[in-house]
Chains A and B, each alone.
Chain A
Amino acid sequence: MYQIPCPHCGPRAQLEFTYERTVDSVVDPAAAPDEAMRALFTRANPRGLDEEIWRHTFGCRAWMVLTRHRVTHEITQVRATGPEALP
């Protein structure tokens, strides 16, 4: 288990957060069918860093984007995000 630095609450237990999806899988409503298909049904799924949308569901309930390493769980960047990143 690790801690996630919430942009609003500071470092909190990962248990308070839920993972939503990766940033590149947010479907743009104006996307062409093949782009939408790519965002909906495929992932880069790297064995390394990826940008992920998480939510402090059991805390302040705010959405955020984490840059997290998929093997070490190291979080290199956190940014608060507004409605533009919501699915």
Chain B
Amino acid sequence: MNRYSALGLLRGALGGHKHWQPAWRDPEPKAHYDIIVIGGGGHGLATAYYLAKVHGLRKIAVLEKGWIGGGNTGRNTTLVRSNYRLAPLHDFFEFGLKMWEHLSDELNYNVMFSPRGAMVLGHSDADMIRLAERGDAMRCDGIDAELLTRDQVARAEPLLDMSRSARFPIEGAMVQPRGGTARHDAVAWGYARAADALGVDIIQKCEVTGFVRDNGAVVGVETTRGRIGAGRVGICVAGHSGHVAAMAGLRLPIESQTLQALVTEGVKPMVNGVVMSNSLHCYISQSDKGGIVMGGDPDNWPSYAQRGQPTIVQGAIAQAIALMPALSRLRMLRTWSGVTDMSFDGSPIIGETPVRNLFLNGGWCYGGFKATPASGWTYAHTLATGAPHPLNAPFALDRFERGATIDEPGVGPLPNHR
């Protein structure tokens, strides 16, 4: 792998940029791998990278039905944060946030991580009490969180409607200063390039169509490019987990739903950090290119179609404009939607399945992007050792039957009511 550097870029520029090489190979699938990761999104590629880097495994393949990063890695709102109240969640995401801080160096690829602050607005006394409780829970575990007054919010984001007659009056906020955004494609490409350099075979346009079983255990996969044997197989296809797991006869605590987002034309800096509101379920940030990225609720009914209902986008825009009236002057550039695994407690699932040699990473609801490094790290540990890492042990698939759900909003097993 050619190391990327400023000097190399300068040298390349002098040579007319003829030095660029493909960042990863396009290998033919081999007959057998020690570990196969199904799904070439950020999580799958990160898993393969840490399997090679941390666990020293060499015969690893990532199978992707389309092209890498073409699923939910390219369909999110690029937010990175660890501001959860429940300890298993904030510990996991904080581990990931610490990895984000060094990820560009680690991968020799600029993932453009920008810790510009992730702010959750409070619209009532009750909101502020909830945010204070959440911030306290985070600070008790060493995670940064600050409660902001109305004045501090107005200073941080001058374009918010702070008037008392606002549709959603702002009482204050809780901010995690180390939260922010990253460049989503760069995360997939960076992990792919780094994994490929360590010998991982990234096989694109290779859809898994079934599992090869021997005495109940999974010993390989059937794909559109033939049968491939494997010691262990890891499903990492959030959005389509139910579909792939069904091939192994599993029913998951997951319902697939559509989540939409949108971006406006590029403008000069106007949103300084990430602005969220849990009471409204709306989140706003500005990309480095200048576009305002917004998202809202999932469509709330099951769908595997990567397209959503325009009224949901309309709702998200209405909320965003109510919070920040200046946004009404912008033109929408595009909208997109991804298929999300809505799990039954709103938390991810990483760990073993009842099928021997088959592992699952999914159920990310609408919060998978920020977890990419931590998900890869813990899933690699699980796949390499056959047992969960302490950080992902609480996210076992059997937690539902044990009554050990991790339900941050506390709404019960109804994925369409989240």
Given the complex, which residues of A lie within 8 Å of B300, measured CB to CB?
Answer: 18-19
Given the complex, which residues of B lie within 8 Å of A18, measured CB to CB?
Answer: 300
B302, B304, B401: the one within 8 Å of A19 (CB): B302
Q: Contact between B416 and A21 (Cβ–Cβ < 8 Å)?
A: yes
Given the complex, which residues of A lie within 8 Å of B252, measured CB to CB?
Answer: 42-43, 45
Instruction: Tell me if B13 is interfacial: C-beta within 8 Å of chain A.
Output: no
- How many Å lie between the Cα of A18 and that of B243 in the bound state? 24
Interface size on B, residues (CB 8 A): 25
Contact with B along A35-79 (1 / 0, CB 8 A): 001101111111100101000000000000000001111000000
- How many Å lie between the Cα of A44 and that of B401 in the bound state? 17
A37, A43, A52, A71: the one within 8 Å of B304 (CB): A71
Q: Contact between B243 and A45 (Cβ–Cβ < 8 Å)?
A: yes
- How many Å lie between the Cα of A20 and that of B310 in the bound state? 21
Q: Contact between B311 and A1 (Cβ–Cβ < 8 Å)?
A: yes
- How many Å lie between the Cα of A41 and that of B255 in the bound state? 10
B256, B305, B310: the one within 8 Å of A45 (CB): B256
Q: Contact between B251 and A44 (Cβ–Cβ < 8 Å)?
A: yes
- How many Å lie between the Cα of A85 and that of B254 in the bound state? 22
- Chain A interface mostly helix, strand, loop or mixed? mixed
Q: Contact between A70 and B305 (Cβ–Cβ < 8 Å)?
A: yes
Is the interface on chain A under 10, 10 to 19, 20 to 34, or 35 or more residues? 20 to 34
Instruction: Tell me if A3 is interfacial: C-beta within 8 Å of chain B.
Output: no
Contact with A along B317-359 (1 / 0, CB 8 A): 0000000000000000000000000001000000000000000
Q: Contact between B253 and A41 (Cβ–Cβ < 8 Å)?
A: yes
- How many Å lie between the Cα of A20 and that of B302 in the bound state? 10
- How many Å lie between the Cα of A24 and that of B3 in the bound state? 54
Q: Contact between B309 and A41 (Cβ–Cβ < 8 Å)?
A: no
Q: Contact between B304 and A41 (Cβ–Cβ < 8 Å)?
A: no
Given the complex, which residues of B lie within 8 Å of A20, measured CB to CB?
Answer: 416
Contact with B along A1-41 (1 / 0, CB 8 A): 10000000000001100111110000000000000011011
Q: Contact between A42 and B414 (Cβ–Cβ < 8 Å)?
A: no
B243, B413, B414: the one within 8 Å of A47 (CB): B243
Given the complex, which residues of A lie within 8 Å of B304, measured CB to CB?
Answer: 47, 70-71
Given the complex, which residues of B lie within 8 Å of A71, measured CB to CB?
Answer: 303-305
Q: Contact between A70 and B251 (Cβ–Cβ < 8 Å)?
A: no
B301: nearest residue on chain A (CB-CB)? A19
Q: Which of B240, B242, B300, B301 has the most CB of A within 10 A?
A: B301
A33: nearest residue on chain B (CB-CB)? B401
- How many Å lie between the Cα of A18 and that of B309 in the bound state? 13
- How many Å lie between the Cα of A14 and that of B240 in the bound state? 24
Instruction: Tell me if B246 is interfacial: C-beta within 8 Å of chain A.
Output: yes
- How many Å lie between the Cα of A43 and that of B416 in the bound state? 13
- How many Å lie between the Cα of A38 and that of B304 in the bound state? 22
Q: Contact between B251 and A19 (Cβ–Cβ < 8 Å)?
A: no
Which 10 pairs from chain A and chain B are nearest by CB? A45-B242, A19-B301, A42-B251, A41-B400, A47-B243, A47-B304, A70-B304, A41-B253, A71-B304, A43-B255
15 A-B residue contacts at CB 8 Å?
A1-B310, A15-B309, A22-B302, A37-B400, A38-B251, A43-B251, A43-B253, A43-B302, A45-B254, A46-B242, A46-B243, A47-B240, A47-B256, A52-B302, A70-B256
